[in-house]
Structure 1
Amino acid sequence: MRVRPEQIVDALLETISMVSFSLLFSVIIGLPLGVLLVVTRKGHILENTFLFNLLNPVINVLRSIPFIILLVAIIPFTRFIVGTSIGTAAATVPLIFYAAPYFARLVENSLLEVEPGVLEAAEAMGATPRQIIFKFLLPEALSSLLLAVTIATIGLIGASAMAGAVGGGGLGDLAITYGYQQFDEITMFITVAILVVMVQAIQSTGNILSKRIRRR
């Protein structure tokens, strides 16, 4: 049984939906976590050893769990949140758990690249910690943060394809159901080609926007 073109389109839209919602919530969760990892470390503007030592290992633990294991391990929680353990809505939950701590680390790295002199100048001008974060730290790291979003998006595309192994929907599900299980090489090639094009387009767009922001 050959896959129909409309099935490919539907699978592509499911992948876009999964990645978009997962990225949105990953940024909402990961950005504050990344900021906290930076500003609460020793010697920074909101030094808090207890909070840093609490967040740091938790994020490390979550990042160390392979996505396919995380996908299965939190099925009860996923079912509690969305009422099912299969489909695109169910796949979004573990995708957020996977991407949020990963994005937090990317944010941390981006913010640590900001020249210390910028923050010292802000403190010398009497800026409050909130002003330093929102008017100096984040704007200075904006170009790098955009690349972090790009990397997180590409990672989510790969993870969303992996979610197809347990009925997560999207292109991964299509590739496994038709391409692998039914030995449909054409479908497998098409899904891989679409994923490659998506990744290349997102990476190129992210690079271009990052360069423009850096020049400004």
Structure 2
Amino acid sequence: MNIELLASATLDTLLMSLISVTIAYLLGLPLGVLLSVSSKKGIKPNKTINLVFGTIVNILRSIPCLLLIIILIPLTNIVFGKGSWSGNWFSMIIPLVFASFAFVARMVEQSLAEIDVSIIEASRSLGANDWQIITKVLLPEAKSSLLSGLAVTTVSVIGYTSFAGYIAAGGLIVEAFNLGYYGTDQLGMWICVFIVVIIVQVIQEGGLYFAKKLDKRRIIK
């Protein structure tokens, strides 16, 4: 396996993963906050809003990534141009975003649900409005859990890139499969696997380290 191909596969994996996670959080973070705020125990309960958006999230989470790739081909054609995206790493961005932003929303909702109610009540007593509670209490208090969730989401998205082979989008996992399955380069396959493991470990351990630094309760070991 030549160095140029290895570098290209690594870059493809990082680009499709990091860009997809960024967009997923731009969509999933506010959606998760909305689900938390509108829940029964939220600061602004709204059964209808919570039911509608909760149902959308549940439906998206129930669809496998491979099926999302197929379902979203029309949208991918609109965004990138019909036929122009096949074989390029960016063709996976839309399926990866849809596969992960609903997951992000649920993780954000759960992170905010862990916050002690007494902290919110204390903020209320000091005259904080809903927006101030969200931006100055809920999100800051949940930052450790949110960071842990970011690491988990990123690792999951890297795993989803294994489906990129179905639309020839490339990446390390697809390259490792091709080299190993067809038996053309066993050493190259193991090099790809090693790089994927290193990337995942850096993300996981980095996320855990910074989450621990941010966690006031120090419950993370």
Q: TM-score normalised by the shorter chain: which range applies?
A: over 0.9
Moved more, 174-183 or 33-42: 174-183
Moved more, 83-92 or 107-116: 83-92
1:150 matched to 2:151? The reply is yes
1:141 matched to 2:146? The reply is no
- The CA deviation at 1:182 is 4.4
1:166 corresponds to which residue? Answer: 167
2:106 corresponds to which residue? Answer: 105
* Distance in structure 2 (CA, Å) of the matches to 1:187 and 1:73: 33
Q: Which amino acid aligns with 1:42?
A: K
Identical pairs, percent: 38
2:35 corresponds to which residue? Answer: 37
* Distance in structure 2 (CA, Å) of the matches to 1:39 and 1:8: 45
Q: Is the 8 A contact 2:36 2:42 kept in 1?
A: yes
2:25 corresponds to which residue? Answer: 27
Q: Is the 8 A contact 1:111 1:137 kept in 2?
A: yes
- The CA deviation at 1:41 is 1.1
1:194 matched to 2:198? The reply is no
* Distance in structure 2 (CA, Å) of the matches to 1:45 and 1:194: 44
TM-score using structure 1 length: 0.94
- The CA deviation at 1:188 is 1.8
Q: Is the 8 A contact 2:173 2:193 kept in 1?
A: no
1:87 corresponds to which residue? Answer: 88
Q: Is the 8 A contact 1:111 1:138 kept in 2?
A: yes
- The CA deviation at 1:215 is 4.0
Q: Which amino acid aligns with 2:213?
A: R
- The CA deviation at 1:183 is 4.0
1:74 corresponds to which residue? Answer: 72
Q: Is the 8 A contact 1:164 1:176 kept in 2?
A: no
1:132 corresponds to which residue? Answer: 133
Specify every segment of 5 or more residues in structure 2 that has no aligned partner in the other structure, as ranges: none
Q: How many residues end up aligned between the 2 structures?
A: 214
Query: CA separation of 1:69/1:207 partners in 2, compared to 1, >3 Å: closer, same or farther?
Result: same
- The CA deviation at 1:207 is 0.6
1:16 corresponds to which residue? Answer: 14
Query: Which structure 1 residue ranges, 4+ long, deviate > 6 Å from structure 2?
Result: none
Q: Which amino acid aligns with 2:123?
A: A
* Distance in structure 2 (CA, Å) of the matches to 1:69 and 1:187: 29
1:208 corresponds to which residue? Answer: 209
2:186 corresponds to which residue? Answer: 185
- The CA deviation at 1:184 is 2.5
> How well do the aligned residues superpose, as a CA RMSD in angstroms?
1.5
Q: Is the 8 A contact 2:173 2:196 kept in 1?
A: no
- The CA deviation at 1:187 is 2.0
* Distance in structure 2 (CA, Å) of the matches to 1:105 and 1:183: 42
* Distance in structure 2 (CA, Å) of the matches to 1:102 and 1:148: 10
Moved more, 42-51 or 6-15: 42-51
SS at match of 1:46: coil
Q: Which amino acid aligns with 1:165?
A: Y
Q: Which amino acid aligns with 2:136?
A: K
Q: Which amino acid aligns with 1:166?
A: I
* Distance in structure 2 (CA, Å) of the matches to 1:169 and 1:119: 47
Q: Is the 8 A contact 1:41 1:48 kept in 2?
A: yes
* Distance in structure 1 (CA, Å) of the matches to 2:108 and 2:164: 25
